[in-house]
Structure 1
Amino acid sequence: MKENTQYTEDNIRSLDWKEHIRLRPGMYIGKLGDGSSADDGIYILLKEIIDNCIDEFVMGAGKTIDISIKDNIVSVRDYGRGIPLGKVVDVVSKMNTGGKYDTRAFKKAVGLNGVGTKAVNALSSFFKVESSRDSQLKVAQFAQGNLELEEGPSETSKRKGTKVSFTPDETIFKKYKYRNEYIERMLKYYVYLNPGLTIIFNGEKYHSENGLKDLLEDNNNPEDLLYPIIHLKGEDIEVALTHSKTQYNEEYHSFVNGQYTTQGGTHQSAFREALARTIRDFYGKNYEASDIRKSIISAISIKVMEPVFESQTKTKLGSTDMGGNFPTVRTYVNDFIGKYLDNYLHKNPETAELMQRKIVQAERERKELSGIRKLARDRAKKASLHNKKLRDCRVHLGDMKNERRLDSTLFITEGDSASGSITKSRDVNTQAVFSLRGKPLNSYGMSKKIVYENEEFNLLQAALNIEESIEDLRYNNIVIATDADVDGMHIRLLLITFFLQFFPELIKENHLYILQTPLFRVRNKKETIYCYSPEEKLEAIEKLSGKPELTRFKGLGEISPDEFRHFIGGDIRLEPVMLDKSMSIEQLLEFYMGKNTPDRQKFIINNLKVELDLVEENQL
């Protein structure tokens, strides 16, 4: 058999730095996305630039960062030392060039490898850097990583520092939109980790005096917390912790050198271990670690010399050493918690008593659940062998070396026709489907026991792999995909109630979404436009002129798999489910699923306005 494909020297090519980044953006910024998810690439671009400003602040240069986003032009200005003028172009466009390699200039920096700014440059249709120092200004402007303009150094009266402006390239980030909620959350984390720093975003000021204590207070309603937050600080470590009255699982916010390590790592493992050991020693009882940590809400931040992360997006710490003359991360965290948490509990007996009561309650609940858990696991094992509810995908969130892991998605659907359409049109690599049988149970006010007794909830928990901890979550995005009608709205509320009641941290960490699907299709022989609201429908009719064909989709099952491919592919529209911090979780559950109230009726009617408009329209 003749071999057609030749493999010669001509097949070997070297990509320059910007080509490589543009060809494989996932290696540098994780997933692309459109801005509907907090870990989408457009936020990573912003973060990479801010990280450099933070490193300046940490080195004692510049206490304010100005950020603005207008018409998709992102601008970030610090008042640090400014990039050395002769190296401005090199720092933003030459790989393996940067100040972070010199540990004298940046002792405990976040952006260690100098790739971040280059990635932003390569992935931006417009990128401009301005450095001001010693009354001199240097400016360089790029497009897709190509230098287009270089000016200076010239005399300037501007304050010293660096300003970077960029526009994410729409050929890579399609139909993207920055969501202020995600940016505000990111900026809050920066100020929690850097007390004394002020960030001004579009005119709004962010500042924190109490670090990680502020983080836990701002993320939770005080009524949900069992006792006042324990706040401990050391030379290169800070810890805040409390227990929740309402949630079941453990919740951790962990940071290294100001970097939010969403996947944890050696510092978080050491913290969990140290908590259990210190509390056992304090009470003199050999409590189970899971009972001690059940319902904990906590945050830990450490500073490490030359940290090793498991990916470019720095979501998991791999380092075992603190650097310098310090011991290992594990020993350092263990010694700190062992000393300072023990002291705190001795000085605050009321907190110590509340904590012990919570541990004893967790122990009692675990023993009550142990029998039913075993039955449920056996049932789930049998079901998973022929589980028709879950059609899994190949890539999961825990696959740390797979650049598509952040795209991993579980669609929760209702009814065979809807799940059939999604199953046939999904990307089998990153999209899984879980089919509900009718309306799920209303779990409001029920105990965790119901998760094991109810087959559907138990299988959903098993599919997500969140029984022990959300650290093991298998999918980055959990998407509720129901019809846009009264029944669909009710199913959404029932599912949100389930997550709010038993796994609120999934919502807090922005993993839960509602799938937006089109209500109308407007088309002529040349073009098809899908519309998500009556307003979009009117615009489409006007655009196509004449008498275009108009189709109203009443349910997901009516949309053919070929068409559905668009709505869960590149053009997917997701609406994030977010917690309202002004209401406690108990209040939220009572509002949504308690006794029927006029408030809830008004809420549902307002949220189904599109549906009611359609009914009136059909009656005309």
Structure 2
Amino acid sequence: MTAIYSEDSIQTLDWKEHIRRRPGMYIGKLGDGSSPDDGIYILLKEVLDNSIDEFAMGFGKRISIKIEDKTVTVRDYGRGIPLGKLADVASKMNTGAKYDSKAFVKSVGLNGVGIKAVNALSISFRIQAFREGQYREILFSKGEIVSDSGIVADEENRSNGTQVSYLADESVFGKYAFNLDFVEAMVKNYIYLNTGLTLELNGTPHVSKNGLLDLLNDNISDEPLYAPIHLKGEDLELAITHGTSYGEDYYTFVNGQNTTQGGTHLIAFKEAYVKTIREFYKKDFDAADIRNSLVAAISIRVIEPVFESQTKTKLGSKDIGPDGPSVRNFIVDFVKEKLDNYLHKNPEAADALQKKILESEKDRKAISGIQKLAKERAKKANLHNRKLRDCRLHNGDKDPRSENSTLFITEGDSASGSITKSRDVNTQAVFSLKGKPLNSYGLTKKIVYENEEFNLLQAALNIEEDIDNVRYNKVVIATDADVDGMHIRLLLITFFLQFFPDLIRRGHLFILQTPLFRVRNKKQTFYCYSEEERLSAIEKVGANPEITRFKGLGEISPDEFRNFIGEDIRLDPVRLTKEDSVHDLLQFYMGKNTPERQDFIIENLRVEEDIVEDIEKMERMGEVLEEIELLAEGIEEIKERQSVLE
């Protein structure tokens, strides 16, 4: 049947209806709070940006953020929104002060949308403004005004400024929760870029004295090869050093906005850095050798910046301003002058940098002989390899579903078979390991090409040159919840940490959580991911429950597996923090320090009396004995490996 297309088909949505119906246009993806770019953090950012812009204009040196029971409150001490325009600022599209360059110069938000999106997507949105002893408060719900105090005298005589308090609507976002680690990371980025600003998060103050220099020092987990180089100028700030791992790590900002996808400023910096280094050492080094292990932060301020989306994660501007130079020329000239001067004045840093470049060059030449052969082998294998079952959409495709592109790395044909039959062929691919991968700790990148499985995995992900064009947004390690499965997880994480740490730093690597138990009767079925969930399910089911313990992914039928890799998929992100020294982590868990690991295991063994009581009540002792036998087998395997190493 053909749909009727007439005048009645044409609809006009008001501002709040459009935002609620198409939230992705305004805040990107929704998410549940498990990823730092989920919508609930974009809402907070949109509110904070306005307060940060006040500070940037010289008003208010303190901003407080409180998150209590999902209600977010942001209070700044700037000038306060003009009281007569408070309702328009919060609920009338394309309304704001930032169209007037005299009031706000080089701010983040320029199109008057952000705060309206927060309003429309909140079940409760309260905005208050305090100005010179007067006060106004307006309460909204889903963009509709609920109450308005009007302009009244502020009897409490509170300091000038604006306060926004909102509760994101679960009918839009679903069940969500704030990860305060993500919020703290956002807060720190703001203070790095705004020295002199104090940002309080739930009562804890955050402040930076040294800008991007503090950012690098706080984020480099391993000792840098030389003290970070800190270069500051009008509208441009850089911090640069080299780490010890493979890859490149960049932190980029425009007008205080964290541009996680880079843009014209990052492209210009990479070009300028390579050009300056070549000219300083008077040698035509390969660009990859110059930038290998580079860790850099760049912050630039632009008049009326153009971003490639409302979420402002990628800069599109080509010029600094209407009458200014191009972004490229501005950065190239700055780096050429400042970095060249620094290297001439600091020969120790120059020597360390040159040594690192030469080491990278030597490493690259060592693998060049087998690289071509490995590429040809991978190309042929990709055409005929039955171990890789690809999907139709990949990261970066124009189709919005490509954001969900996922590669599951599984152990063996049994597990991969269940996932393959139940996956979404549009967005989910499967890479099946032949067995336990090689322990790559301490090896050079040459092994990535020499080992066929590593080479195939690298080719499947398209990460040989860099992580910018990774084919899948999520790389998911899907292994059994047993000793062997845990070991394979460690081996794969070691591989990525050793050779492709950027994959982890940029939040692409995850661990798939699959249920340990199925509890059911004739009417209800519950899948349980922990002992606590199992006991809760037993109470709900009642007498005579049927309890199944899943010992491996291959035991879960494809029909059931659909429940675990669809909308309700549970993924644990693999993350790196400053406290995580990559070198120390790998050396302890994957190095040849077996006695230390044994002592650690012995010291951390726990006996849970409550679990024993539950086991006796549920008459599951036989199942527990089986698990103990598996653990004993695992210990024996570790001893055998130890003897081989010794």
TM-score, normalisation: structure 2: 0.90
Deviation at 1:527, TM superposition (A): 3.3
Aligned match of 1:514: 511
What SS does the corresponding residue of 1:320 show, helix, strand or coil? coil
Where do 1:599-610 residues align within 5 Å? Answer: 599=597, 602=600
- Is 1:342 aligned to 2:347, yes or no? no
- Is 1:618 aligned to 2:646, yes or no? no
1:533–1:274 distance in 2 versus 1, CA, 3 Å:
same
Aligned match of 1:266: 264
In structure 1, which of residues 526, 529, 533 is the aligned counterpart of residue 526 of structure 2?
A: 529
1:469–1:570 distance in 2 versus 1, CA, 3 Å:
same
What SS does the corresponding residue of 2:128 show, helix, strand or coil? strand
Please tell me whether the aligned partners of residues 191 and 199 of structure 1 are also in contact (alpha carbons under 8 angstroms). yes
- Is 1:191 aligned to 2:191, yes or no? yes
Aligned match of 1:360: 358
In structure 2, which of residues 289, 292, 298 is the aligned counterpart of residue 291 of structure 1?
A: 289
1:397–1:260 distance in 2 versus 1, CA, 3 Å:
farther
Aligned match of 2:488: 491
Deviation at 1:257, TM superposition (A): 0.7
- Is 1:374 aligned to 2:379, yes or no? no
1:534–1:72 distance in 2 versus 1, CA, 3 Å:
same
1:301–1:4 distance in 2 versus 1, CA, 3 Å:
closer
Amino acid at match of 2:122: S
Aligned match of 1:165: 165
Deviation at 1:573, TM superposition (A): 1.8
Amino acid at match of 2:19: I
Q: Structure 2 CA distance, aligned partners of 1:91 and 1:562?
A: 51
Aligned match of 1:243: 242
CA deviation map 1:409-467 (0-9, x unaligned): 22222122322222233333333322222111110111000111111111221222221
Please tell me whether the aligned partners of residues 21 and 122 of structure 1 are also in contact (alpha carbons under 8 angstroms). yes
Aligned match of 1:407: 404
Deviation at 1:554, TM superposition (A): 1.7
Aligned match of 1:228: 227
Aligned match of 2:432: 435
Amino acid at match of 2:546: E
Deviation at 1:544, TM superposition (A): 3.3
Q: Structure 2 CA distance, aligned partners of 1:69 and 1:18?
A: 24
Aligned match of 2:206: 206
In structure 2, which of residues 69, 72, 82 is the aligned counterpart of residue 71 of structure 1?
A: 69
In structure 2, which of residues 21, 24, 27 is the aligned counterpart of residue 26 of structure 1?
A: 24
What SS does the corresponding residue of 1:127 show, helix, strand or coil? strand
Q: Structure 1 CA distance, aligned partners of 2:563 and 2:606?
A: 24
Q: Structure 2 CA distance, aligned partners of 1:526 and 1:118?
A: 46
1:336–1:550 distance in 2 versus 1, CA, 3 Å:
same
Q: Structure 2 CA distance, aligned partners of 1:331 and 1:609?
A: 64
Higher RCO by CA contacts (8 Å cutoff, separation 6 or greater): 1
Deviation at 1:215, TM superposition (A): 1.0
What SS does the corresponding residue of 1:566 show, helix, strand or coil? coil
Please tell me whether the aligned partners of residues 122 and 168 of structure 2 are also in contact (alpha carbons under 8 angstroms). yes
Amino acid at match of 1:231: H
Aligned match of 1:180: 180
- The alignment covers a number of residue pairs equal to 614
Q: Structure 1 CA distance, aligned partners of 2:601 and 2:174?
A: 33
Aligned match of 2:349: 351
Please tell me whether the aligned partners of residues 231 and 239 of structure 1 are also in contact (alpha carbons under 8 angstroms). yes
CA deviation map 1:353-393 (0-9, x unaligned): 11111111212221221121111111111111123333333
1:527–1:105 distance in 2 versus 1, CA, 3 Å:
farther
- Is 1:464 aligned to 2:461, yes or no? yes
- Is 1:51 aligned to 2:49, yes or no? yes
1:291–1:62 distance in 2 versus 1, CA, 3 Å:
same
Amino acid at match of 1:50: L
Aligned match of 2:582: 585
Q: Structure 2 CA distance, aligned partners of 1:426 and 1:201?
A: 41
- Is 1:505 aligned to 2:510, yes or no? no
Q: Structure 2 CA distance, aligned partners of 1:92 and 1:438?
A: 57
Q: Structure 1 CA distance, aligned partners of 2:258 and 2:214?
A: 16
Amino acid at match of 1:429: N
Aligned match of 1:146: 144
Moved more, 6-15 or 185-194: 6-15
- Is 1:594 aligned to 2:599, yes or no? no
Please tell me whether the aligned partners of residues 404 and 473 of structure 2 are also in contact (alpha carbons under 8 angstroms). yes
What SS does the corresponding residue of 1:126 show, helix, strand or coil? strand
Aligned match of 1:127: 125
Moved more, 299-308 or 473-482: 473-482
Deviation at 1:406, TM superposition (A): 3.6
Please tell me whether the aligned partners of residues 222 and 243 of structure 2 are also in contact (alpha carbons under 8 angstroms). no
Please tell me whether the aligned partners of residues 266 and 318 of structure 1 are also in contact (alpha carbons under 8 angstroms). yes
Amino acid at match of 2:113: V
Aligned match of 1:574: 571
Aligned match of 1:550: 547
CA deviation map 1:505-540 (0-9, x unaligned): 222222222112221222334433222111111122
Deviation at 1:320, TM superposition (A): 0.5
Aligned match of 2:644: none
Deviation at 1:311, TM superposition (A): 1.3
Amino acid at match of 2:243: S
What SS does the corresponding residue of 1:111 show, helix, strand or coil? coil
Amino acid at match of 1:380: A
CA deviation map 1:301-325 (0-9, x unaligned): 1001111111111111111100043
- Is 1:559 aligned to 2:556, yes or no? yes
Please tell me whether the aligned partners of residues 41 and 183 of structure 2 are also in contact (alpha carbons under 8 angstroms). yes
Deviation at 1:599, TM superposition (A): 4.0
Give the alignment's Cα RMSD to 1 decimal. 2.2
What SS does the corresponding residue of 1:471 show, helix, strand or coil? coil
Aligned match of 2:632: none
Please tell me whether the aligned partners of residues 222 and 583 of structure 2 are also in contact (alpha carbons under 8 angstroms). no
Please tell me whether the aligned partners of residues 26 and 403 of structure 1 are also in contact (alpha carbons under 8 angstroms). no
Deviation at 1:616, TM superposition (A): 5.8
Deviation at 1:582, TM superposition (A): 3.0
Q: Structure 2 CA distance, aligned partners of 1:606 and 1:454?
A: 35
TM-score, normalisation: structure 1: 0.94
Q: Structure 1 CA distance, aligned partners of 2:306 and 2:577?
A: 36
The runs of 5 or more residues in structure 1 that have no matched partner are none
Please tell me whether the aligned partners of residues 589 and 597 of structure 2 are also in contact (alpha carbons under 8 angstroms). no
Moved more, 578-587 or 367-376: 578-587
